[in-house]
């Protein structure tokens, strides 16, 4: 069965960095685009970034552009989110999500359990 397991969250001071990881299993990781979606405490869902199956195409929300970098290692079935210059408003649960089928874009059929990032001094 499909599993997505995020890690790397924690408490970090404003301006510092953090790297999130998402290890995938149960499907052909290298065939699917992958995504990060976040949810601030008590708030709704916000798309953060997406990467194509081969890493050749990457997109991110304006709110994180220039600060967050998305990458993947298909040999390790792992997705990464490097978060730099963190701000208080980046505080959220970060979910990685799988694209539903290899030929589509923007449809999140499986989600990890989430990892909490708290940016606070």
* Residues near another protein (CB under 8 A): 35, 37, 44-47, 50, 59, 61-62, 95, 100, 104-114
Shortest separation between residue 99's beta carbon and another protein, angstroms: 10
Nearest to 58 by CA among 24, 30, 35: 35
Question: Exposed, middle or buried: residue 52 (CB in 10 Å: 0-12, 13-18, 19+)?
Answer: middle
Q: Residue 13 Cβ, how far from another protein at the closest point, in Å?
A: 26
**Which residue, 17 or 31, is less far from another protein as judged by CB?**
31
Of the candidates 5, 33, 15, 34, which has an alpha carbon nearest to the alpha carbon of residue 83?
Answer: 15
> Least Å distance between CB 11 and another protein?
19
CB of 64: closest distance to another protein in angstroms?
A: 11
Residue number with CB closer to another protein (50 or 117) = 50
Spell out the residues 6+ positions from residue 92 whose beta carbon is closer than 8 angstroms to its own. Answer: 38, 39, 40, 41, 43, 46, 116, 117
Minimum CB distance to another protein smaller for 29 or for 50: 50
- Our CB check for another protein shows the closer of 42 and 121 to be 42
φ, ψ dihedrals at 104, nearest 5°: -110, 180
């Amino acid at each position: 069965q499909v599993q997505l397991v995020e890690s790397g969250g924690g408490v970090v001071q404003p301006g510092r960095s953090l790297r999130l990881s998402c290890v995938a299993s149960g499907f052909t990781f290298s065939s699917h685009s992958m995504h990060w979606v976040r949810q601030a405490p008590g708030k709704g869902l916000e798309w953060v970034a997406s990467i194509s199956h081969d890493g050749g195409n990457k997109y991110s929300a304006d709110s994180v552009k220039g600060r967050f970098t998305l990458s993947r290692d298909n040999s390790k079935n792992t997705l990464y989110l490097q978060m730099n210059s963190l701000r208080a408003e980046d505080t959220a649960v970060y979910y990685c999500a799988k694209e539903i089928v290899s030929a589509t874009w923007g449809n999140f059929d499986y989600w990890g359990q989430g990892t909490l990032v708290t940016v606070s001094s």
